[in-house]
Amino acid sequence: MPFLDPKYEKAATLRVQRRPKQLAVIDQGGCTGCMVCVDFCPVDCIELVPGPDPDNPNVHKLVEIDLPLCIGCTLCAKYCPWDTIEMFSFDDAYKIAPDWTLREVVAEQWGREPVQEAPAVRPRRRDLERKAEE
Ligand code: SF4
Ligand code: SF4
């Protein structure tokens, strides 16, 4: 996997020796597939997930973070125009990611166990929180 920013290459190497304090998790319910985060990720660990219709894969695209590669730099969360990426502690990120993941490609790509069986439709977390406050 290419490292886009040499400044972060050492951090990415250390990533396998010492786990980051925090990781980024995408709430895919709010993701528009704009790919801004992909451009900012210094270790190239954000993957594009095609839309659900194989005949129209560019419709309803999402992105997914390959958590074992994330170094927790926060750049994606800072620059996501839709504010749909949040930083969590290492352990919490792995707990929360399955609930926030609608579709994934990373597990299949790298031969890992999937984060979860993705539900077909899931309301956005922020909307549920707003509803609860009303
Ligand atoms: S920047 Fe935000 S909305 Fe755009 S693809 Fe990344 S997570 Fe999705
Ligand atoms: S925090 Fe975001 S930009 Fe930074 S390494 Fe993780 S996924 Fe990439």
For residue 42, give the ligand nearest its CA. 2
The reported pLDDT for the residue numbered 36 is: 97
pLDDT of 133 over the 90 cut: no
Q: Which atom of ligand 1 is nearest to the CA of 38?
A: 6
pLDDT class of 40 with cuts at 50, 70, 90: very high
Strand pairing class (22-26; 46-49): unpaired
Residues in contact with 121: Cβ distance below 8 Å, sequence separation at least 6, in sequence order: none
The reported pLDDT for the residue numbered 10 is: 67
101-119 pLDDT per residue, tens? 888 888 776 676 665 544 4
CA of 126 to the centre of ligand 2 (A): 21
What domains lie within the chain, and their CATH numbers?
A: 6-133 (3.30.70.20)
The reported pLDDT for the residue numbered 126 is: 55
The reported pLDDT for the residue numbered 68 is: 83
The reported pLDDT for the residue numbered 113 is: 66
The reported pLDDT for the residue numbered 46 is: 94
